[in-house]
Amino acid sequence: MKLIYPAIFTPCLEKEGFTVTVPDLPGCVTEGDDLPDAIDMAVDAASGWILGELENGDSYPRPSSYNEITPPEGSFVSLISLDIDAYAERYSSKTIRKNITIPAWLNTYGEKHNINFSKMLTDALMQQAGI
């Protein structure tokens, strides 16, 4: 799922960089040391905001039209593109139940030695994926 949200970029007064707010996502505020960093930070913050709502079973706000946003003086509006599926693949903490089949003797061994099968499989998959 890809979403486009308008974000307000405000130059920092005390240092270089920008503060970024996403008006449609309450409390979604971040900063970047320069414009490219601010854009990356805005995409990350907004994607995390949306993913959090989805993982809680909630809906997310419809993006406003670019024309509906009036930035404060000295600030500007830019659109940010969110790829929620890619973000979720990388950062989702939601777990799912997975049925697996293993030899009976391994199950007996694992239970006897108090092995957490979910953790063992997760660790092995993460190692295989190079994470």
In terms of C-beta density within 10 A (0-12 exposed, 13-18 middle, 19 or more buried), how is residue 47 classed?
buried
* The pLDDT of residue 30: 97
- Fold category of 2-91 in CATH: Double Stranded RNA Binding Domain (3.30.160)
> What pTM was computed for the model?
0.71
Kindly state the average pLDDT of the residues 76-92.
90
CB 1 within 8 A of CB 60: no
Domain spans, the chain: 2-91, 97-131
* The pLDDT of residue 88: 87
Residue 23 tokens read as 């008006």
* The pLDDT of residue 73: 95
Using one digit for the tens of pLDDT, what is the confidence trace for 21-34? 999 999 999 999 99
Kindly state the average pLDDT of the residues 68-83.
95
* The pLDDT of residue 46: 96
Neighbours of 62 (CB within 10 A): 9
Using one digit for the tens of pLDDT, what is the confidence trace for 98-128? 788 989 999 899 999 999 988 888 889 878 8
Q: Average pLDDT over the chain, rounded to whole?
A: 91
Q: Range with the lowest mean pLDDT among 54-63, 92-101, 108-117?
A: 92-101
Neighbours of 18 (CB within 10 A): 23
